[in-house]
Amino acid sequence: MSTFDPDALECLAAIVEEGGFERAAQRLSITQSAVSQRLRSLEAQVGTVLIVRSRPLRATPAGQLMLKHAKMMRLLRADLEHDLRELAPNSARGQRDEDRVSVAINADSIATWALPAISALVQGGLPIEIIHDDQDFTHEWLREGQVLGCVTSLGQALRGCRMEPLGAMPYVAVASPEFAASALPEGLTRHNFHRLPFVAFNRKDDLQRDFVCRAFALGQVTLKQLYVPSSEGQVRAALAGWGVTVVPRPLVAPALADGRLVDVGAPHVFHVPLYWHCWNLASDVLDSLSAALRTAATASLDPL
């Protein structure tokens, strides 16, 4: 089996992660022509094109396999650094950008339970990179080999990966007391939801529609939606009276408790099951990360 140049593998990863040759060159502190040369050398060794020079750049299927290999090499280095710190705390070298361990986590988990879960690992030296996406799409980052694990709503294990259930995130529909009093004197119902503005995360966000459909036993609905690409931003928009937003209950628990927000959808609660998927590899770093997420999710999420 061929041995691939680690510098060329990191060059490929940098091109994909940075979205271009120029930014990859800046990250690697080499010239843009050197980036192109390393990529051509790797493509010659593999025997096929690895990057489609489109806008935006994207990896070919072979490029995705090589990208996953580069990520695996990073994980091996992270394991080595972990072991070195335990055996000889002063022997481990400083972190490099290419040592990052990448995971994909949905924004609502980032805003509630996921960051506290991995704080101890980060403080212990784990060079983490968190990529956020909708929980229905984070697994695509894992499928394409761009991350080593993901928190997702997908309940079926991906090929070459292991999966474990984390729990169910409870979602509630909230609004400011002033908005609720003027627009929803009887609360959110199947007869008035279509007149109201809903604050969604982005155009991928189906939670607002899913909540309404589940709460009122409707098959398909159309909502008037505003978009704020931040879980905390959705809450601030609701506090400012923009409209109704469906967000994680743990995120708005303090505002509900002190009356700054009201649950306009009560007693309806929408649960989204969450799962942790990661490469099926023997790795102390991966095992530690999985255990940390599992423990925090058990304490923060509702049981599945």
Listed residues 97, 118, 133: the one ending a domain = 97
- What tens digit of pLDDT does each residue of 275-293 get? 999 988 888 888 999 999 9
> CATH no. for residue 72?
1.10.10.10
Domain range for 253: 169-272
Listed residues 78, 97, 116: the one ending a domain = 97
Cis peptide before 267 (omega within 30 of 0): yes
Listed residues 44, 79, 97: the one ending a domain = 97
Could you tell me if residue 143 is inside a domain?
no
Residue with tokens 């704020």: 228
Q: For the chain, give me the number of helices (H) and strands (E)? A: 12, 11
Do 87 and 173 fall within a single domain? no
Could you tell me if residue 240 is inside a domain?
yes
User: d(Cα 248, Cα 21) in Å, to the nearest integer?
Assistant: 39
CB atoms within 10 A of CB 8: 22
Note the pTM of the prediction, 2 decimals.
0.75
Could you tell me if residue 279 is inside a domain?
no
Could you tell me if residue 120 is inside a domain?
no
User: d(Cα 145, Cα 212) in Å, to the nearest integer?
Assistant: 35
- Residues 160, 102, 228, CA angle at the centre, nearest 5°? 115
Could you tell me if residue 140 is inside a domain?
no
> CATH no. for residue 222?
3.40.190.10
- What tens digit of pLDDT does each residue of 106-139 get? 999 999 999 999 999 999 888 899 999 888 889 9
Tally of domains in the chain: 2
Whether 164 and 275 have beta carbons less than 8 Å apart is answered as yes
Q: In the predicted model, what is the mean pLDDT of residues 43-50?
A: 90
What DSSP letter does each residue of 180-249 carry, written as one string? HHHH-TT-S-TTTGGGSEEEESSTT--HHHHHHHHHHT-S----EEEE-SSHHHHHHHHHTT--BEEEEH
Do 2 and 82 fall within a single domain? yes
